[in-house]
Structure 1
Amino acid sequence: MLEAVIADLISIPNYNIITCIQEDLTTAIPNFSQWEQDGRLQVHRVGDPREEQACFEQACRQSDIVWIIAPEFDEILSSRTERAIQLGAYVVGSDLKSINLSADKWRLYEFLHDRSIPTISTLLLESQQLTFPCTFPCVIKHRFGAGGLGLHYFTQLDDWQEQFSHRQVNHSEYIVQPFVSGKMLSAVVLVNSHCREFFPIGEQRICWESGFQYQGGAIPSELAIDVTQSVQNLLQRLCNELPGLAGYVGFDLLLPDENPTDPLVVEINPRLTTSYTGYRQLTQENLAQRIVDSETAFPLLKWDETRGVQFRPDGTVLINQMQS
């Protein structure tokens, strides 16, 4: 994903890019070296977190625009956004209030529930939980997890007692939800000062046989027109309730098998997601330019309806021709 983002940013005239990567990370784009020689790209290769933090802060001081691509867990996205703002940087993306709310799955559930926005029933585990508060199968998530980290899937009480209840963990940092069978969707809204653009709705591929395994996704998902409209109506409502969402915002949704026309909100990701690598293959427009140049009124995006993409968890993309 980093390579895709840098390639798109470099293609914007008069943009120079500063980024930081782990020193042993290899890149597959041969143009990286040429871009560095031309002075268009500065890549700081670092070996430890303190060096990376210093590079990040220096880049914030030097840059006209800062685009932070980071996960929500451990408050990484929030703390980096806050630090960039403190350094006087112009940060594209959602505000701190929206980031912090989205990062905490329990607070997000309370927010959605209070506003009667459809979501999965959720309970907060108590520190001294003696009985299991949910039916089986169920899902337990770390309330500050991201990308499936801290997620456990249980089919019976014995599994819970063996794998989770005896572990030395702070139970109050976990939430529990009933497992709802259905189709997992991935939606993106590009939000700027001029409009909200809905990207084609994608499908997430998740294997539950071994607990939880994210296997990538596909864009677009085959949905009936009324379902697509229901999803877009739900996304509009979420953006209205959270006006601090901005830039590229990802939404994880679920179409329950029992009510396949009534989508449920699972998570909100106020940041770039892996699906970016797929979406950029379905349009000739530069998505990165629309994200960083958020004050410009661009024409509406045009999507190639003759193709679809599948992408792996690492962002590798396979392009498919769509059948008419």
Structure 2
Amino acid sequence: MRLFVYEWVTGGGMAGREGRLPDSLLREGLAMVQAVAADAAAARIEVTLMRDLGVPLIGVPSAQITSVDSRSAHDRLFAEFAAEADATIVIAPETDGALLAAVSAAEKVGARLASPGSEVVRLTADKRLTAACLSQAGVPTPESLYLEAGAPLPRDFAYPAVIKPIDGAGSQDTHAVMSVADAPPAYAWPRLLQRYAVGMPASVALISDGTAEPLLLPACRQRLSGDGRFRYLGGQTPLPDALTERAHRLARATLAALPAAVGYLGIDLVLGDDPAGARDLVIEVNPRLTTSLVGLRAACRESLVAAMIDAQQGRRATLSFDPRPLEFDADGTVYYAAL
């Protein structure tokens, strides 16, 4: 089994562009690609990676790693590896259409994707479309409003709120807005103004084979920065059973509202203070691997990557998880909670 794992930030997605790689995206991208490659290698899956020359060495000795030094080399290698692999996993930020472009390029060369395809990515990479889709399906989401580039904050919105790019990732250009009198930094593209959700930030990941019942992974609590920027710092898992069940209920409803999806999706939630879950909300859908994978992989007794490939091939894996509490950081560090 040959697996091509393409992570946009570390794999040369910015080759030929000016400017340095965004720190948060680089940190999380490196953590994800190393976790995926190591998990696959442990399952005796042959892994192929691409590495931007400006990225630190990727610490997976058994992987075949090819360096990328130009845009043309990136495009040529991507097409070659995606076409030849038995399975391909694409990881990229939604920003500026990077994820959709990479997935579409993989589909163009006939890649056998073990991650979500372009139909799902096109919908969920756009936060406005996602909110409308979920709301129409009856999935609880915060009140939101689309703002054109340069548009002022509306006076009649229910503050506090969060303002974010329509296609953002990694909390880039995301800000808390306490009232209409606030002045978030100017932004040259459309944004979404979303009512602030009160509760515990959480996430739940799933592996779908395109049918109604996915493999639901343990829910995670998210650690976010308290400076109004909502930077992802890491998380912890598992949650208490009652919270996990509420998170899984929202995940099932979210998946049912989307086009048929194959592979790993991450769903960001806020679990409210009502024990029955009446104030729980879905914040975003990530149609790709998320950083929580590093913690989930450490807890899983089997291979998550093998489960993704099974899903792509129409098989359903059986997974079990170590129940011990663990925490993980955005850079991939994992540690078990002290007893």
TM-score range, shorter chain: 0.7 to 0.9
Q: Which residue in 2 is equivalent to 1:16?
A: 46
Per-residue deviation, residues 21-60 of structure 1 (Å, max 9, x unmatched): 122433463x61xx3xxxxx32111234443222211212
1:252 aligns with 2:252: no
1:207 aligns with 2:234: no
Q: Tell me if the contact between 1:65 and 1:89 (Cα under 8 Å) persists in the aligned partners.
A: yes
SS of residue paired to 1:92: coil
Deviates more, 1:52-61 or 1:291-300: 291-300
**Partners in 2 of 1:212 and 1:277 — Cα distance?**
20
Q: Which residue in 1 is equivalent to 2:216?
A: 198
Indicate which of 9, 12, 25 corresponds to 2:55: 25
**RMSD over aligned Cα atoms:** 2.3
Q: Which residue in 2 is equivalent to 1:80?
A: 102
Indicate which of 195, 198, 201 corresponds to 1:178: 195
Q: Which residue in 1 is equivalent to 2:19?
A: none
Structure 2: gaps of 5 or more residues? 1-31
Q: Which residue in 2 is equivalent to 1:275?
A: 292
- Please tell me whether Structure 1 or Structure 2 has the larger radius of gyration of its CA atoms: 1
Within-5 A mapping of 1:34-183: 35=62, 41-126=63-148, 129-130=151-152, 132-133=154-155, 134-160=157-183, 163-164=184-185, 167=186, 169-170=188-189, 173-183=190-200
Indicate which of 227, 232, 235 corresponds to 2:248: 232
Note the C-alpha offset of 1:137.
2.2
Q: Which residue in 2 is equivalent to 1:38?
A: none
Residue type of the partner of 2:165? Answer: H
Indicate which of 239, 252, 268 corresponds to 1:221: 239
Residue type of the partner of 1:196? Answer: P
Deviates more, 1:208-217 or 1:145-154: 208-217
Note the C-alpha offset of 1:296.
5.8
**Partners in 2 of 1:221 and 1:122 — Cα distance?**
28
Note the C-alpha offset of 1:298.
4.8
The alignment of Structure 1 onto Structure 2 pairs a total of residues equal to 304
Query: Normalising to structure 1: TM-score of the pair?
Result: 0.85
Residue type of the partner of 1:289? Answer: A
SS of residue paired to 1:159: coil
**Partners in 2 of 1:145 and 1:45 — Cα distance?**
27
Q: Tell me if the contact between 2:153 and 2:180 (Cα under 8 Å) persists in the aligned partners.
A: no
SS of residue paired to 2:56: coil
Structure 1: gaps of 5 or more residues? 36-40
1:189 aligns with 2:189: no
SS of residue paired to 2:207: strand
Are the structure 2 counterparts of residues 150 and 128 from structure 1 closer, same or farther at C-alpha, using a change threshold of 3 Å? closer
**Partners in 1 of 2:259 and 2:188 — Cα distance?**
35
